[in-house]
Chains A and B, each alone.
Chain A
Amino acid sequence: MTMRLKNIIAIIVFSLLPLAAYSEESAHTTATPESFVQNTSSRVIALLKSRTSDESKQKQLTAMFLQVMDSDWIGKFVLGKHWQTLSDDQKRTYLKNYRKYLIDSYVPKFKQYNDQAIHVKGIKDLGHGQYLVITDIVSSSSQANTKVEYRIQAAGDGYKIHDIVAEGVSLLTTQRSEFSSIMSNEGFDALNDRLLSKDNDNN
């Protein structure tokens, strides 16, 4: 595999943030997603570089993350056809646990932020209010850029992220394959147990 995956994971959360900021302010601006992502990335970098405690950063980032990631939609999507087999109670439990799992998997990565910058290379209008934001993550320590694409969906006054594709590897596709394998082989209780156990691992 010719992946340039070193650092990708660490920067995914970092690179989400400009989009989060966009979503937050879009009600008050008519800027294009492109210009806004560029403009607000400096604000986010300022937060990451600020002397605020890690705890406080984590809190702020979690709020942004929840605001911008459509975690319920993603949670349903990655369960695929198995979603329909769950009872209403199970659905509620699952979505609650999935949201926490997603936050715990990605938000703490901000601690690995190391002066990377995000360059928006282009935005593709996919129709139906969907856009593909194509970015390069540029690291100061390495000459290799990382290509990260965000699939975003217009929602209300802002946008929600539905998928992150890093060097051709999609978060949605990977998790759907993983969750589907567990549902088929072991069932819902096992999936739920694993979601919870991962939460504990990361705390």
Chain B
Amino acid sequence: MLIKLMHSTKLILTLAFVLSLPQITHAEIAPLTGLALEGENTSLKPVSKEAAKPVQNTPPKAEYDISNLDATSDEVEQEINDPIEPFNRAIYGFNRGLDHLIIRPAAIIYRDLTPDWGKDRVHSAINNMGEPVTAANAILQVDEQLISDTMGRFITNTVLGFGGLIDVAAEADTELSLKKTDFGLTLKKYGVETGPYLMLPILGPSSFRDAPSLAVDYFLDPFNSELFSNDFIIARTGVIGLDKRYNYLELTDHVEKTSLDEYSTYRSIYFQKR
């Protein structure tokens, strides 16, 4: 019933949603996309039907034929574009030091002192406040399914899920579980390559395509607008960081324990995911 209601009203929701976002107006989208795509050999047509699908549903696959493959050939070498590796490694060293000194201990305190129920509520609320950016990028990607799913989730979870504290949409229908996209993936859809790897201070693995995209997503985000106080914006950013670091604890601990070269492990994961 809930799902039916959500689907039948998706057009209205779409319009209402767009109008409710002070920052996502046509006048602002055009220069943003124009600027970002300028100078690149791209057109505004989707690269392929494949690329038009929600990104999370089409994870990159390791495409190789094992039986015919000489295990030691370099046919299936992963493409790693990292011309400024020494610089990136230096930043990684800095990040790792800072992480061990402050960020990881904070995440461990958060893990140990907050009940799981509380952490789940924080995670849901953070995800809910991220939906407008996903929706904005879904619009830019002209991905109707993602637009309607994201808007449906945002309205449902905000209204029925107590401001997003509970992900009622996903509980009602697993098809409606969280899907994320961002401006880096919007550029990818229009044919912009990942470009050279770039390790950002504090923020971590990124690329020449994705690093500037972070700024675009920041400005697309209504929760960073003038409607909200600086204190709120800073606090929310801190909580996002804490939630994210907590969720990566197990992965980073595993990598630290087993990787022979952490820097190249994270770099490889980054290129497989983006």
Contact = CB atoms under 8 A, between A and B. Distances in A.
Interface of A: 1-3, 5-10, 73, 76-77, 79-84, 101, 105, 109, 126-130, 141, 143-145, 147, 151, 153, 162-163, 165, 167-170, 172-174, 176-182, 191, 194-195, 198, 201-202
B45 interface: no
Contact of A2 (B180, B249, B272): B180
Contacts of A130: 65-67
Nearest to A132: B61
Contact of B260 (A2, A84, A179): A179
Given A80-B72, A81-B72, A169-B273, A6 B65 contact: no
A149 B60 CA distance: 12
B250 A9 contact: yes
B62 A76 contact: no
Nearest to B60: A168
A151 B267 CA distance: 23
Interface stretch (B17-25, B73-81, B148-156): B73-81
A110 B202 CA distance: 32
Given A6-B250, A178-B268, A168 B72 contact: no
Classify chain B's interface size: 35 or more
A3 B273 contact: yes
Closest 4 pairs (CB-CB, A-B): A168-B59, A128-B67, A177-B268, A83-B72
A73 B167 CA distance: 44
Interface stretch (B213-221, B226-234, B251-259): B251-259
Given A153-B67, A169-B273, A178 B167 contact: no
Contacts of A10: 250
Interface string B50-66: 00000110011110011
Interface string B108-146: 000000001000000000000000000000000000000
B175 interface: no
B248 A198 contact: no
B264 A173 contact: no
B269 interface: yes
Interface of B: 55-56, 59-62, 65-68, 71-74, 77-78, 80, 116, 167, 170-171, 174, 177, 180, 205, 247-251, 254, 257-261, 263-265, 267-270, 272-274
Given A1-B273, A80-B72, A201-B257, A8 B264 contact: no
Contacts of B62: 151, 163, 165, 170, 172-173
B61 A165 contact: yes
B205 to A, nearest CB: 8
Contact of B268 (A3, A141, A143, A174): A174
Nearest to B180: A2
A30 to B, nearest CB: 22
Contact of B72 (A77, A109, A126, A143): A77
Given A153-B66, A168-B272, A143 B171 contact: yes
9 contacts: A2-B180, A5-B250, A145-B174, A165-B59, A168-B273, A169-B269, A174-B268, A174-B272, A202-B258
B60 A1 contact: no
Contacts of B264: 177-178, 181-182
B55 to A, nearest CB: 7
Contacts of B257: 105, 198, 201-202
B65 A178 contact: no
A88 B268 CA distance: 29
B260 A174 contact: no
Contacts of B259: 178
B261 A143 contact: no
Nearest to A153: B66
A162 B66 contact: yes
Given A2-B180, A128-B67, A167 B260 contact: no
